């Protein structure tokens, strides 16, 4: 699956993307009023970019720009008019070996929107 094949409201069964940037984690109030941590990760492949929202304390701590991750059993949603990915309850991501099949980090940074996520 590629980013341009992901549909809002649908499961993301298997997606390999490169991390372009990771925003500093921030504390937010989740539904029900409890506090949690949100880390937004700008990810990309040959076909586009989107935000991966990681919910929970410590989620995304091992991620940095340039890494390649595999998202399994994620979810696509719309937030403020744009598609975002999340893991939901059963989804996960893993850092995988870079086989150089994805564009380089410098290529992706040229294409990525600069106002969405900073390092």
Q: How confident is the model at residue 118 (pLDDT cuts 50, 70, 90)?
A: very low
pTM of the complete model: 0.87
Neighbours of 34 (CB within 10 A): 8
Task: Give pLDDT, residue 33.
Answer: 87
Is 25 a residue whose pLDDT tops 90? yes
Best CA proximity match to 41, nearest among 51, 31, 26: 51
Task: Give pLDDT, residue 119.
Answer: 34
**H or E element: which one contains 33?**
none
Q: Name the CATH superfamily for 3-97.
A: Nucleic acid-binding proteins (2.40.50.140)
Task: Give pLDDT, residue 112.
Answer: 58
């Amino acid at each position: 699956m590629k980013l341009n094949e992901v549909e809002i409201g649908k499961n993301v069964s298997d997606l390999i993307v490169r991390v372009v940037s990771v925003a500093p984690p921030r504390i937010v109030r989740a539904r029900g009023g409890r506090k949690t941590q949100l880390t937004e990760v700008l990810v990309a492949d040959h076909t586009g970019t989107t935000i991966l929202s990681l919910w929970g304390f410590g989620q995304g701590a091992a991620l940095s720009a340039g890494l390649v991750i595999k998202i399994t059993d994620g979810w696509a949603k719309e937030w403020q008019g744009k598609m975002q990915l999340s893991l939901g309850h059963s989804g996960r991501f893993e850092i995988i070996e870079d086989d150089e099949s994805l564009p380089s980090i410098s290529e992706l940074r040229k294409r990525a929107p600069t106002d969405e996520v900073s390092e």
